[in-house]
A and B are shown apart, each in its own frame.
Chain A
Amino acid sequence: MNLPVIIKFVIDLLAVLLLALGIKGLSKVKSARDANRLAAFAMSLSVVGLLSYYLGTSGIAIQSWIWIIIGSIIGSLFGAILAKKVPMTSMPETVALFNGCGGMSSLLVALGVAIFPISNSVENLDFFKSLINDVSISVSIFVGAITFTGSIVAMAKLQGWLSTPGWTQSKVRHFVNIVFAVASLIAFFDLINGNTSSIWLLVIVSSLLGIGVTLPIGGADMPVVISLLNSYSGIAAAAAGFVVDSQLLIVAGAMVGAAGLILTQVMCKGMNRSLVSVLFGGSLSAQSTASSGSGEYTNITSCSVEECALTLEAANKVIIVPGYGLAVAQAQHTLREVTKKLEQNGIEVVYAIHPVAGRMPGHMNVLLAEADVPYEQLKEMDVVNPDFPATDVVLVLGANDVVNPQAKNDSSSPLYGMPVLDVQEARTVFVIKRGMSAGYSGIKNDLFDLPNTSMVFGDAKKVLNDLIGELKDLGVGEK
């Protein structure tokens, strides 16, 4: 072993260690920010390691430098600008976009190696080695393409640029996707047989497969899909590692792939959905309207903002249940104003965070943190559920399915078994909502029919603004 090899080995080892520590640190609130920086540092270190290795061995041509610099500057610049500009509410689609580009990168690397075999990989290739080479190229292209098109479709659907076409809810789509999958397999075997041009067939059909699999999935399940695609982009990176013979790529890719799978599992549990039903079941609302839960409401109590303010003023303990509707209305700052007033009046305020509140697990925490809500006031579901019976007022803001008692009481409900917040145990529940439309699941919410529930109709932000006015009139928070 000569010096550059040793140096690269040491740097790679160090980078893997730091990346692992980074992922580990990201799972604790205190260390998360430093851990993210540590991981970023490890990534830069790995680039330095690779470049110094080539400088010390084969050297890097001027031409290569030029293309390296062009690619780096353009990619980094766009990435940094987007990351700075994007609003916190659009975080899920942003992650999807970044993720898709990672997949695209793996795809391009494999494509490049397939079309123009790089020098060291063509020398003395025996059959076994060339087979491995072909397999890793195929996997990298297949997974990379699915990651790319799938992520772009996911992003477009979250942004509202794409709706769910009707035909995708029928059985036809399974047939279509099976055709794409079989075509990918044919292209793969053709490629191994030495027919290089079938690589284009592989690119096209796996891209179509990515679209075909993601398109039928409804908005509520999209976070799960993004998390799964995130795992795929790790697998694509690991496959690219086999293509260019890099252990560092394989380790890092495998870590992300495995971590992404776990995270996907956690999300599925929070929504009471199995991964299989997310991927093959289509949009939940399309199913449930056909089966059950589309019953009529019989006992809706509607009330004014003034009544709501009066009840809040008399309360000792208030629990806020924020949901996706709050994020859409961008009302988290207004909500914070309301709770500040209540706190100044000596009222205990706590936020109950359902594991899948917002659009992704943890998304709501980010949004509330942005509005300066103290971290200690955010309570997780298991912690806060026993507190509801001793609570005077619960404010449900833009949440729906996560407070549906059906999930506990009605075994025929599609929601049955999903962990929910037991808000109906509180003395009074106010649900602030635009109208009587159903949640993601399209299922009737039994909570709205209960005698202790009152509906305050209106846009979350407007209602909260009115509430601030009413509370002011009552002299709450004036001290």
Chain B
Amino acid sequence: MSFISLLWVLLLGSLLGLELIGKVPPTLHTPLMSGANAISGITMLAALTLIVKAEGNVPLLIIGSVSLGFALFNVVGGFFVTDRMLAMFSRKPSNKK
């Protein structure tokens, strides 16, 4: 990918993000923040790339692995904790019956 097209990707991605969040009820701000936070752990892909391309360079493998650990801590923890919060909202209607 050329640098210019990557810049386009950046621009369009940002616009998409602005557009998606438009109207959110305050109830969901905390879960949304936490969910978006989990998505920011997408750097795990960069960490994976680093490990795959390390070609036996042990220090690089270690850096990549630590980075992957941090990212997955963010991703797994983030999604689980968001689910825990949201489970409390969705539980309500079934309880009332």
A residues whose Cβ falls under 8 Å from a Cβ of B = 19-20, 22-24, 26-29, 32-33, 35-37, 39-40, 43, 46-47, 50-51, 54, 58, 60-61, 63-64, 67-68, 70-72, 74-76, 78-80, 82-84, 86, 88, 91-92, 94-95, 98-99, 101-102, 104-106, 108-109, 111-113, 115-116, 118-120, 128-129, 132, 226-227, 230, 233-234, 236-238, 240-263, 266-267, 270, 353, 355, 360-363, 365-366, 369-370, 372, 374-375, 378, 380
Instruction: Check A226–B33 contact: CB distance below 8 A.
Output: yes
Q: Please name 19 further chain A to chain B contacts, defined as beta carbons within 8 Å, in addition to the given A33-B83, A266-B26, sorted by A numbering.
A: A26-B31, A27-B20, A27-B28, A39-B39, A72-B69, A91-B34, A91-B81, A109-B50, A112-B50, A132-B3, A233-B74, A237-B42, A246-B46, A251-B13, A256-B39, A360-B33, A361-B26, A366-B31, A375-B89
Q: Mark B23-38, 1 if CB is under 8 A from A, else 0.
A: 1111111111111111
> Given A70-B65, A111-B63, A258-B18, A375–B92 Cβ distance below 8 Å?
yes
The 8 Å CB contact of B72, one of A71, A227, A263, is A71
Instruction: Check B33–A252 contact: CB distance below 8 A.
Output: no
> Given A106-B43, A244-B50, A83–B1 Cβ distance below 8 Å?
no
Instruction: Check A374–B20 contact: CB distance below 8 A.
Output: no
Closest B residue by C-beta to A232: B40
Instruction: Check B63–A91 contact: CB distance below 8 A.
Output: no
A18 to chain B, nearest CB (A): 11
B5 to chain A, nearest CB (A): 8
Instruction: Check A51–B48 contact: CB distance below 8 A.
Output: yes
Instruction: Check A23–B20 contact: CB distance below 8 A.
Output: yes
> Given A363-B30, A369-B92, A256–B17 Cβ distance below 8 Å?
yes
Instruction: Check A362–B20 contact: CB distance below 8 A.
Output: no
Instruction: Check A105–B6 contact: CB distance below 8 A.
Output: no
Instruction: Check A105–B68 contact: CB distance below 8 A.
Output: yes
Q: What separation, in Å, do the CA atoms of A259 and B13 have in the docked complex? A: 10
Q: What separation, in Å, do the CA atoms of A251 and B57 have in the docked complex? A: 30
Instruction: Check A33–B90 contact: CB distance below 8 A.
Output: yes
Instruction: Check A64–B51 contact: CB distance below 8 A.
Output: yes
> Given A27-B21, A27-B23, A380-B26, A101–B70 Cβ distance below 8 Å?
yes
B94 to chain A, nearest CB (A): 12
Q: What separation, in Å, do the CA atoms of A253 and B44 have in the docked complex? A: 12
Instruction: Check B76–A246 contact: CB distance below 8 A.
Output: no
B73 to chain A, nearest CB (A): 4
Residues on B with beta carbons closer than 8 Å to the beta carbon of A247: 1, 6, 9
B residues whose Cβ falls under 8 Å from a Cβ of A = 1, 3, 6, 9-18, 20-57, 59-93, 95-96
Instruction: Check B75–A95 contact: CB distance below 8 A.
Output: no
Instruction: Check B36–A71 contact: CB distance below 8 A.
Output: no
A291 to chain B, nearest CB (A): 29
Q: What separation, in Å, do the CA atoms of A176 and B44 have in the docked complex? A: 34
Instruction: Check B18–A262 contact: CB distance below 8 A.
Output: yes
25 contacts between A and B (CB under 8 A): A32-B31, A35-B35, A63-B54, A68-B65, A75-B73, A78-B69, A82-B73, A92-B30, A95-B34, A108-B63, A109-B43, A128-B3, A230-B33, A237-B42, A247-B1, A250-B10, A251-B12, A256-B37, A259-B18, A262-B22, A263-B32, A266-B24, A353-B26, A362-B32, A370-B88
Instruction: Check B17–A23 contact: CB distance below 8 A.
Output: yes
Closest B residue by C-beta to A42: B39
Residues on B with beta carbons closer than 8 Å to the beta carbon of A39: 35, 38-39, 79
Q: What separation, in Å, do the CA atoms of A20 and B71 have in the docked complex? A: 20
Residues on B with beta carbons closer than 8 Å to the beta carbon of A24: 20
The 8 Å CB contact of B42, one of A36, A43, A227, A372, is A43
Closest A residue by C-beta to B25: A29
Residues on A with beta carbons closer than 8 Å to the beta carbon of B66: 71, 108
A25 to chain B, nearest CB (A): 9
A278 to chain B, nearest CB (A): 16
Residues on A with beta carbons closer than 8 Å to the beta carbon of B6: 241-242, 245, 247, 250
A84 to chain B, nearest CB (A): 7
Instruction: Check B74–A79 contact: CB distance below 8 A.
Output: yes
A331 to chain B, nearest CB (A): 17
